[in-house]
């Protein structure tokens, strides 16, 4: 009985060059295949992870600022009694430094404990919404209620935050 | 840094203590103004900020009819675990003049905010376990039929009594137009089955002396002072509820919140009936360490 490989044996004698060529080509093809699989797996996984992290970050950011949307309409429409008052901006800045900067950063840019207050979600919020958030906190996300500060002081902080908005817009322009 | 300064065997034996000491020493200096309420007995609904540790020392000087006057003192470590949960440890002691100074016990308390948002009345649940001796005179709560004559005996006699008590309060508090009004119904149970449930109350009202902040940093601005009044006393127990054989106090209170994180409190409580001590003069000093939780987390390998 003939060996199985004998079926594929060419009619003529096979030279060592051809055998060597076949071996080299096979090794190259297999290597390319393995490397491709490896690259696709690593890059694909990394891409997937990056996408997941990005989605998580977006989702987290969305939920971080989602509390702004929870302010009742009546509360959002409240006007800031100190709007444009430079003294209130200074007083609000002092209060921010004393009560808020520890979590939100000295320039309100955010820290691990608290989100940035310079983001458009906050900048676009009405003074009434900011006041409502200050008064009610976001307890489930770690922000305490600040109603222990008198109402005027909370409005002074809002005035300060609004001044940051103006600064930020000027800077962007 | 810890590894360089403290020998390995000590670090292994006392990791918690070392973490605490280093956290207090190297806690980020902050400009957080505590804005503490002036109450000493009554609680409002505001909890400790998450991650902050407040260390407080209080002293109560009390006059004693038919016995020696005393100075009771306690230290509190109050930690904001989350925005809705504050946990606290008290360590109590007292000096009875012409007698002795003794350690009188400890208390562990937890406060839980029940509602996420602000309402007209904000409830907080307070649960405390205390293990004290009969010589405990801090009078942080005046419960059941507690009367001033209970404290007239010598420390040697009083300390023989050991109390294991569970205390629950519903802290109801409201803030409106700068005023805070707080009402605390209190229920206490000595863990001995034969002991009855005791009832008590504490109510308080306070207001900052100025409702608007000044633009400059200052120590003596009116906005840093909060003044008020509190009243507290016993309401009997399940065996004999009511006001007979109970003691009651009325105490003007003031707090001075300094921009350097320190708070001073002063309270002079006046006894309202013959069962009460004539005077309970209390003072307290506290300091808040913001970012304490983060520093401890880092010491134990948390993310930088």
Q: Is A19 left (phi over 0), alpha (psi -120 to 50) or beta?
A: alpha
Q: Is A34 left (phi over 0), alpha (psi -120 to 50) or beta?
A: alpha
Closest CA to B203 of B189, B188, B186, B224: B186
User: pLDDT tens across B256-300, in order?
Assistant: 999 888 999 999 999 999 999 999 999 999 999 988 988 888 888
**Cα separation, B304 vs B290, whole angstroms:** 16
Work out the average pLDDT over A115-130: 93
Predicted pLDDT at B3: 47
Same domain, B142 and B285: yes
Same domain, B89 and B225: yes
User: pLDDT tens across A27-84, in order?
Assistant: 787 787 777 776 776 666 666 666 665 665 555 556 778 999 999 999 999 999 999 8
Closest CA to B289 of B267, B253, B263, B254: B263
User: pLDDT tens across B233-252, in order?
Assistant: 999 999 999 999 999 999 99
Q: Which residues pair with B165 in a beta bridge?
A: B130, B190
Is residue B301 a part of any domain in this protein? Answer: no
| pTM for this predicted structure | 0.79
Same domain, B45 and B17: no
**Cα separation, B6 vs B74, whole angstroms:** 30
Instruction: Report ipTM (2 d.p.).
Output: 0.85
List all residues of chain A from 63 to 82 with a beta carbon under 8 Å from chain B. none
DSSP A55: H
Quick check: A147 and B121 in contact, CB under 8 A? no
Same domain, B26 and B38: no
Give the model's confidence band at B29: pLDDT under 50 very low, under 70 low, under 90 confident, else very high.
very low
Same domain, B135 and B12: no
Question: What residues of chain B lie within 8 A of the CB of A105, using their CB?
Answer: none
**Residue B187 distance to chain A (closest CA, Å):** 27
**Cα separation, A32 vs B104, whole angstroms:** 78
Best mutation target, B83, B209, B216, B226, to test chain A (most A CBs within 10 A): B83
Is residue B303 a part of any domain in this protein? Answer: no
Q: Are B211 and A153 inside 8 Å of each other by CB? A: yes
Nearest chain A residue (CA) to B289: A102
Quick check: A149 and A136 in contact, CB under 8 A? no
**Cα separation, B149 vs B157, whole angstroms:** 13
Is residue B302 a part of any domain in this protein? Answer: no
Task: Please give the residue range of the domain that contains residue B13.
Answer: 1-30
Is residue B89 a part of any domain in this protein? Answer: yes
User: Which of A7-21, B113-127, B172-186 is least confident?
Assistant: A7-21
Predicted pLDDT at A3: 52
In the block, tokens 């006057």 appear at: B69
Same domain, B283 and B199: yes
User: Which of A140-149, A157-166, B103-112 is least confident?
Assistant: A157-166
Same domain, B263 and B131: yes
Q: Which two tokens stand for residue B182?
A: 């707080």
Quick check: B22 and B263 in contact, CB under 8 A? no
Same domain, B21 and B114: no
User: Can you give chain B as a three-state secondary structure string?
Assistant: CHHHHCCHHHHHHCHHHHHHHHHHHHCCCCCCCCCCCCCCCCCCCCCCCCCCEEEEEEEEEECCCCCCCEEEEEEEEEEEEECCEEEEEEEEEEEECCCCEEEEEEEEEEEEECCCCCCCCEEEEEEEEEEEECCCCCCCCCCCCCCHHHHCCCHHHHCCCEEEEEEEEEEEEEEECCEEEEEEEEEEEECCCCCCEEEEEEEEEEEECCCCCCCCCCCCCHHHEEEEEEEEEEEEECCCECCCCCCEEEEEEEEEECCCCEEEEEEEEEECCCCCCCEEEEEEEEEEECCHHHHHHHHCCCCC
Question: What residues of chain A lie within 8 A of the CB of B112, using their CB?
Answer: none
B82 vs A113, A142, A148: nearest CB? A142
Domain CATH code at residue B105: 2.40.160.40
CA distances, B38 to each of B87, B118, B282, B285 (Å): 19, 21, 11, 11
Same domain, B62 and B194: yes
Same domain, B146 and B284: yes
Quick check: B104 and B162 in contact, CB under 8 A? no
Same domain, B94 and B124: yes
**Cα separation, A117 vs A93, whole angstroms:** 13
Domain count, chain B: 2
User: Which of A106-115, B38-47, B62-71 is least confident?
Assistant: A106-115
Same domain, B230 and B268: yes
Question: What residues of chain B lie within 8 A of the CB of A95, using their CB?
Answer: 213
Is residue B43 a part of any domain in this protein? Answer: yes
Is residue B171 a part of any domain in this protein? Answer: yes
CA distances, A121 to each of A66, A75, B215 (Å): 9, 17, 27
User: pLDDT tens across B9-20, in order?
Assistant: 555 555 545 544
Is residue B304 a part of any domain in this protein? Answer: no
Is residue B238 a part of any domain in this protein? Answer: yes
**Residue A136 distance to chain B (closest CA, Å):** 5
């Amino acid at each position: 009985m003939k060996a199985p490989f004998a079926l594929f044996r060419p009619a003529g004698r096979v030279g060592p060059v051809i055998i060597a060529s076949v071996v080299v080509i096979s090794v190259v093809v297999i290597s390319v295949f393995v490397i491709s699989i490896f690259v696709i797996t690593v890059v694909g996984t990394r891409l997937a992870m990056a996408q997941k992290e990005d989605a998580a970050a977006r989702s987290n950011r969305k939920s971080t600022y989602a509390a702004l949307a929870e302010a009742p309409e009546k509360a959002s429409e409240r006007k800031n009694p100190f709007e444009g008052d430079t003294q209130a901006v200074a007083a609000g800045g002092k209060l921010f430094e004393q009560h808020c900067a520890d979590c939100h950063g000295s320039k309100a840019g955010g820290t691990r404990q608290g989100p940035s207050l310079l983001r458009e979600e906050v900048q676009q919020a009405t003074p009434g919404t900011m006041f409502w958030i200050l008064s009610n906190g976001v307890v489930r996300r770690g922000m305490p209620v600040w109603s222990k500060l008198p109402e005027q002081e909370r409005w002074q902080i809002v005035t300060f935050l609004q001044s940051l908005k103006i600064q930020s817009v000027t800077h962007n322009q | 840094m810890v590894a360089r300064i403290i020998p390995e065997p000590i670090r292994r034996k006392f990791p918690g203590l070392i973490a605490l000491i280093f956290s207090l020493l190297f806690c980020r200096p902050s400009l957080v103004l505590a804005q503490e309420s002036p109450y000493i007995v009554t609680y409002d609904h505001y909890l400790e900020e998450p991650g902050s540790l407040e260390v407080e020392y209080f002293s109560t000087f009390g006059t004693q009819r038919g016995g020696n006057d005393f100075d009771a003192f306690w230290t509190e470590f109050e930690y904001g675990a989350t925005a809705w949960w504050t946990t606290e440890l008290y360590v109590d002691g007292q000096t009875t003049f012409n007698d002795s100074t003794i350690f009188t016990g400890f208390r562990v308390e937890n406060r839980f905010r029940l509602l996420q948002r602000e309402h007209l009345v904000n409830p907080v649940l307070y649960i405390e376990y205390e293990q004290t001796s009969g010589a405990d005179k801090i009078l942080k709560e005046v419960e059941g039929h507690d009367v001033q004559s209970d404290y007239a005996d010598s420390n040697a006699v009083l300390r023989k009594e050991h109390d294991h008590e569970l205390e629950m309060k519903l802290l109801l508090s409201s803030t409106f137009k700068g005023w805070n009004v707080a009402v605390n119904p209190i229920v206490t149970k000595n863990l001995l089955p034969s002991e009855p449930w005791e009832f008590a109350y504490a109510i308080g009202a306070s207001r900052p002396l100025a409702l608007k902040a000044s633009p400059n940093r200052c120590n003596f601005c009116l906005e840093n002072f909060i003044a008020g009044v509190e009243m507290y006393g016993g309401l009997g127990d399940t065996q004999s509820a009511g006001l007979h054989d109970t003691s009651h106090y009325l105490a003007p209170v003031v707090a001075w919140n300094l921009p350097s994180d320190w708070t001073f409190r002063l309270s002079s409580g006046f006894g309202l009936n013959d069962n009460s001590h004539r005077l309970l003069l209390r003072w307290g000093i506290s300091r808040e360490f913001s970012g304490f939780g983060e520093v401890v987390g880092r010491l134990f390998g948390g993310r930088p």
